[in-house]
Structure formats: C-alpha cells, structure tokens
Amino acid sequence: MLYRLKKELSRSVKGAVMVSALGLAGMYAMPASAATISLLETGSTLLYPLFNLWVPVYTKMNPGVQITTQGTGSGTGIAEAISGVAQIGASDAYMSDAQIKMHQNILNIPLAISIQMINYNLPGLNNKHLKLSGPVLAGIYSGKISNWDDAAIAKLNPGVKLPNHKIVPIHRTDGSGDTFIFTTYLSDTTPEWSKSVGYSTTVSWPAVPGGIGALGNPGMVQALKTTPYGVAYIGISWKKPVEEAKLGLAMLENRAGNFVLPTVENAKAAAGEMVSKTPADERISLVFAPGAKSYPIINYEYAIVSKTQAKPEVAAAMKKFLNWAIDTKGGNAPHFITAVNFVPLPDSAAELSRKQIAEIH
C-alpha cells in the first residue's frame, strides 16, 4: 500500500520545486557528523503528499535525521503517536476532550490548513459544478436521498438534467480525519445527522444499498473513478488525480447560504473568520465558518506528538523539524503549500504552534 501511495503521490504533486527549497531549509540544518536520528511520521493521507515534499528537502539539509512517512489514515496517526510507535502522528482531526483527558501529554500542533472536496462521477455532468448542501449530502449518506434526480438535488440545480439513477455514496473505511471533517459538516448543517451519526474519525455509517467503502484518499479517488454515479469526499491534496480522472467537483452551500468552490481564496476567507478563535491548545473546528465567500469544509492539519520523547536528541530533532515545517521560509513556503493546494498557517496560529513545539522535551 505504501508503494502505491508513493506512486500516486509522485503523479499528484509532480513538479514541486525541491531544489529551490534547499536554501530555505539551510537555517535549520544540523551538522552532517551528528548521529542519525530516526523519526516516524504516520497518519493522514491528506497530509501525506505534503510530508513527502518536505522530507527529501529537509533531510538533505539535515543528513543526521531520517524521516519515514506512512499514509495510514488520521486515526492510526493519532493512535501511534499516543502509543509511541510514531514520533509524529499526522491528522486532519484534533483529539477529542475525552482523548486529551486520557492522554494529557499529547499535543495537537497545526502545520497548515487543508480543504476537502466533494466529487462525483456523473456521466455527462462531470464538467458541471453541481450545487450540493450539507442536508442533501446527509440525505445521500443516510440513504434518504437515493437518486440523482431527487427533488432535493434538483431544487439546488435548476435547469440541470439530472439522471434517474441510484447514487453510490463512497466513504472511508479507515480511521480518517477526512471523515471527521466531512461528518462535522453534516452534523453542523443537519440536526438529524448530528443526533443519529455524529462526527468522528470513525462513524457507524448508515447502511445504504450499494454504498462503497475505500481506504485512504487514493482509495477514494480510485473507487470514484471506477464507479459511475458515485459521490465521495476527497482531500484537496489529491486534486490533480481527481482532475486527471475528469471527475466532477461540487459547489457547497456555506453558512451564509452561498454556493462556493473549494478554492484557496474561499478557504482563506473561511480561515479569516475562525483562526482568531483558536485556543492555546489549538483544538478547534474550522468547519462551516461564517462569511459570504467561506468554503465550508476546511480544517487545521495537525502533527499529533508527545511532549515527552525517549531521548533529548529525538526531542531536539522533532522541534527543529516542526519549527521548519511551519516557517514561511521552510515547510510553509509557497511552493510547498501551493503544490498540495493548502492554505499556509496564519501568523497567529503559527505562533501558537511554536509555543506548543517548545513544550517537547
């Protein structure tokens, strides 16, 4: 699976300007003579493409550090950071209050802001941006809206000839931060979904005839590509393979009642409404932000790490790497962030992240 992920990744972010980044990483370089320190990053398949742009650049400038990346899903990233199997758990979801209460030594450190797309495979309509809303998507994923020409979808898309065909909802089967933010959007917009299913990295999906499960973002892309009349939620860092497959991209209804596309501009509008509310521990949902232009499904991308590391040199290496990752002259430099269609970490959030990174020892 890791090989397939890396093969797909190389296609999705091909052309990233790695050479120009070497100078940016220089200020964080470690002496070449230092003993090799190994760090394992595992988790989010949405963050996975960004880590795989970062790591070759950073480790070339820091030959004493080896960083292994694994796209295993946010649920695994959180679990392995807690257990100590991984030094960095990548996640699109922050830990819940209950998890933090049980694991008070764990930090949730934002590295950037991501976007989630809603995509579909509708023969003849993939070149149109259909309008969808939280209640309509909740209806689809609960099985209450089963046909593409349902009145609720038709009402949002006047003049569009929708097919009289069953909808195939596709969901993640692994513990997923994408599932977390998608179901947060459904919960925020649809009280019935909030009461019956709720939001989490793993939920009890309603039994929908014909529904499909897939593993990771690459699995979601592949499942949708091969499933006419399907609909799926996919992280923005996989936009290129989605476009290559010529899949449809939905406009989503935001809190202001406007339908907007998942552009960086609209994500920045949403972030501008929410980032100032970020608490010191940075656990906050940015989903369904107010604002006329705000795209409704964005969130921080987190590094889940333990404050206490096994060795001082490991702690030092982690702090150096994470500080580089959030620096606008390092991992948050435009050529990295643009390659995966993310939003750079705003200054106020970066300052909070630096304070959390300083707690690692």
Angstrom distance (rounded) from CA 144 to CA 190:
13
What does the angle CA 120 – CA 77 – CA 69 come to, to the nearest 5 degrees? Answer: 90
The residues with which 67 forms a beta bridge, in sequence order, are 39
Angstrom distance (rounded) from CA 102 to CA 30:
35
**Which residues lie below 8 Å from residue 243, measured CB to CB, with a gap of 6+?**
none
Give the mean pLDDT of the chain: 93
The residues with which 261 forms a beta bridge, in sequence order, are none
Angstrom distance (rounded) from CA 145 to CA 56:
46
How is residue 65 written in tokens? 């550090």
Inform me whether the pLDDT recorded for 25 exceeds 70: no
Angstrom distance (rounded) from CA 194 to CA 185:
10
Inform me whether the pLDDT recorded for 29 exceeds 60: no
What does the angle CA 218 – CA 221 – CA 227 come to, to the nearest 5 degrees? Answer: 140
Inform me whether the pLDDT recorded for 60 exceeds 70: yes
**Which residues lie below 8 Å from residue 103, measured CB to CB, with a gap of 6+?**
82, 95
What is residue 178's three-state secondary structure?
helix
Domains of the chain by start residue, with CATH? 14-113+299-357 (3.40.190.10), 116-277 (3.40.190.10)
State the pLDDT at residue 23: 45
Longest dimension (CA), the chain: 67
Would you say 138 and 152 are in contact if contact means Cβ atoms under 8 Å apart? Answer: no
Angstrom distance (rounded) from CA 180 to CA 215:
15
Question: Per-residue b/e over 333-348, b at no fewer than 16 CB within 10 Å?
Answer: beebbebbbbbbbbee
Angstrom distance (rounded) from CA 300 to CA 93:
8
Q: Average pLDDT, stretch 194-208?
A: 97
State the pLDDT at residue 27: 52
State the pLDDT at residue 14: 43
Angstrom distance (rounded) from CA 169 to CA 230:
6
101, amino acid identity: K
The residues with which 232 forms a beta bridge, in sequence order, are 119, 170
Q: Can you say whether the dihedral through the CA atoms of 54, 354, 176, 268 is positive or negative?
A: negative
Phi, psi of 304 (to 5 degrees): -95, 115
Angstrom distance (rounded) from CA 338 to CA 5:
20
Strands 106-120 and 251-253: unpaired
Would you say 348 and 278 are in contact if contact means Cβ atoms under 8 Å apart? Answer: yes
State the pLDDT at residue 28: 56
Inform me whether the pLDDT recorded for 1 exceeds 70: no
State the pLDDT at residue 72: 96
Inform me whether the pLDDT recorded for 93 exceeds 80: yes
Q: What burial class does residue 31 get, using C-beta atoms within 10 Å of its C-beta: 0-12 exposed, 13-18 middle, 19+ buried?
A: exposed
Inform me whether the pLDDT recorded for 192 exceeds 80: yes
**Which residues lie below 8 Å from residue 273, measured CB to CB, with a gap of 6+?**
289, 290, 291, 294
Give the pTM. 0.90
pLDDT tier for residue 270 given thresholds of 50, 70 and 90: very high
Angstrom distance (rounded) from CA 357 to CA 324:
11
